[in-house]
């Protein structure tokens, strides 16, 4: 991202903002509520209109945020398989992703019956199974117990270690070594 500027509502969230990431990087993004962490991930995902400046991305991206994006009526395995097929991921990817997030015992549970932490893990399993080069994770630790926080840490390290990139928006400090940690400011009112 080079010299990016974004106004949302009547607030300037970013102005003259630049960020770069390359293979093997885990970039940790912190900041107060409303500072623009989710906005930043959505800019990278190219989901926001009216972004000025330059945003260029090489590689496939997968986003996990509060929108689960899984069919609530399907058993977990089938709901994930829908996306794995769309992403062209193979069955091994999905199996490994379910194991990485300790969901193997829940594969036949309808998504609507999953607890909030299980739903978060399902969303992360979708990202892991996608095989995407770039993971955009918005508050991925929310609702996870300590064992599953550690599983996510391990998944992030494996991803970065195999040439992936991760942007992680989180309130807490990282408990793994990250490439860079940035703290966003609170923006200001547009003139």
Binding stretches for ligand ATP (CB under 6 A): 8-9, 11, 13, 31, 33-39
Residue 58 CB, shortest distance to ligand ATP, in Å, is: 24
CA distances from 94 to 85, 114, 123, 130 (A): 10, 18, 12, 8
State the CB neighbour count (10 A cutoff) for residue 10: 8
Query: Helix, strand or coil for residue 125?
Result: helix
Burial class (CB in 10 A: 0-12, 13-18, 19+), 91: exposed
Nearer to ligand ATP, 87 or 139 (CB): 139
Q: Which is nearer to ligand ATP, 6 or 76 (CB)?
A: 6
Complex with ligand ATP: residue 13 or 144, whichever CB lies closer: 13
Q: How far is the CB of 83 from ligand ATP (least distance, A)?
A: 24
Q: Least distance in Å: CB of 29 to ligand ATP?
A: 8
């Amino acid at each position: 991202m080079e010299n990016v500027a974004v106004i949302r509502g009547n607030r300037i969230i970013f102005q003259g903002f630049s960020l770069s990431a390359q293979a093997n990087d885990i970039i940790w993004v912190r900041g107060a509520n409303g500072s623009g962490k989710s906005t930043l991930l959505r800019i990278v995902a190219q989901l926001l209109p009216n972004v000025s400046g330059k945003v260029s991305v090489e590689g496939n991206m997968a986003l996990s945020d509060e929108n689960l994006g899984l069919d609530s009526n399907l058993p977990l395995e089938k709901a994930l398989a829908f996306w794995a097929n769309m992403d062209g991921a193979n069955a091994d990817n999905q199996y490994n992703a379910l194991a990485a997030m300790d969901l193997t015992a829940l594969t036949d549970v309808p998504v609507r019956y999953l607890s909030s932490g299980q739903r978060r893990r399902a969303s992360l399993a979708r990202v892991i199974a996608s095989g995407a080069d770039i993971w955009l994770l918005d508050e991925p630790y929310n609702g996870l117990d300590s064992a599953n926080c550690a599983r996510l840490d391990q998944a992030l390290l494996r991803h970065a270690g195999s040439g992936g990139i991760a942007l992680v928006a989180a309130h807490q400090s990282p408990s793994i070594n990250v490439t860079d940690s940035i703290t966003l400011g609170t923006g200001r009112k547009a003139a």
